[in-house]
Structure 1
Amino acid sequence: MIEIQNRAGVERARVTGRVVGNMLQALRTRCRVGTNLLEIDEWARLMILEAGARSCYVDYAPGFGRGPFGHVICTAVNDAVLHGRPRDLRLADGDLLTLDLAVIVDGIAADAAISFIVGAVRDPEDMRMIETTERALAAAIEIAAPGARLGDLSHAIGEVLAGAGYPINLEFGGHGIGSTMHQGPHVANDGRPGRGYRLRPGLLLALEPWVMADTDRLVTDPDDGWTLRSATGCRTAHTEHTIAITETGAEILTLPGR
């Protein structure tokens, strides 16, 4: 299913996007060496309640996960990159943490993710990897406009990721978003320009470049049945924004401070 929002729907998406962007920024400032991942989940839960929002993750139970996710935020550390299920783990100095948050406000969802270093940067490669995902996301947003094809966005992302030397996994990528968190169309992190669905005003997309330092293969954590990790144990990074296609281009909905 692909939803196209009217003006009222896009305005509601702006509200949800502000909630997500500001929550991620607030959570980032609270994450320090010694913070427990379960603390982050509880902080997010309280923020969601205060905002009058609803988590997209608590009851999330797709075919690839082991039962409902059961938490309100994804917390992926170091070799974990997607669907990081919060657990009793305290962050260490130099950990690479990804927070991925999706909520619904007034019937419309927004989804975003940020990666950052907790404490001191121990390896410049961590920052290069994070910055590469941010550049890939910016490249796709720059060309997102009515008439563009999904393949144009995928190609723009892939050019940046591959150009920086990172292998690209095509199992998971960006997606349409609206009344539900995950819907069509799928937006792969690499592709051929000029192919795929043609973008239209009112389309909401969650674009999410992510990489693993030296592999394109994922493994599922055997303990929680959810967290996706790099097959080699290498570090990972993930950046995501929800955007709205407008009459003239794209509007980023999940920027903080709006």
Structure 2
Amino acid sequence: MATERGANIPPIKIYSDKFEDHVVLITGAAQGIGETTAKLFAKQGAALILVDIEEDKLKRVLQEIEAAGGKGLIRVCDISDYGQCEQVVEDAIKTYGKIDVLIQLAAIYPFHSIIEHPIDLYQKVLSININASFYFIRTVLPHMQEAGYGRIINTASGTLQLPSPGQNAYVTSKGGVIGMTRQLAVEAGPGITANVIMPGLIQTEHAWNLLSKPDGTNPVFDQLSEKQCVHRAGQPEDVAYTIAFIASPEASFISGQIFDCGGGATFH
């Protein structure tokens, strides 16, 4: 994990039984923030349902989790299809009897200007980034309401605060996720919270490669790190640790909120 120059942060403690009685469903679990989040919950005893469209990557993540003593199952799913999302939830309930935590990290973010954005791709962005969130909420929520407990964590983006050209569809979809989550918080019911994680620019392999220059430098990360209050690149672990707190029983009095995990690049 990256460190800020001059900082002296104590080691982070992981408790192997923190989530041992929890069932956690994570979308976008095959790589990046989703993979890191899945492994963090596995280390803390959770039973996982790992959801993604990329089967080979899902299998690798689960193998690594099981090799480290964790447990879970994978479900290959086109989350833009309501029927497939519903089937994933039904399978999870049959296997584990409940879903305690729903973490929605799956997203796509193509770059096109407004006037050049292909209509079919624009619709695909909305379908994956916001409609799928609704699909899983709609199918998971009744089970949480019956249990009287649940944590639903949806994902927005720091681009809402710092938009740049070419991100119209992505920013639009993430704005919708915030509105959906606030409405969900009102309707969720006793014991159930709904919140939004808002990552800034995070140094996943994909993001780093996408923004790197041929000489290996990455001026986008460098410039944003200087703008942030915390002067270092954001790491997938930063987001995963924040999610773990929001998903915990002790976060029971926090709902309908945005957790900006962007190093203080912007303020709310």
Q: Which has the higher strand share?
A: 1
Q: Which has the higher helix share?
A: 2
TM-score (norm 2): 0.28
Q: Which is greater in Rg?
A: 2
TM-score (norm 1): 0.29
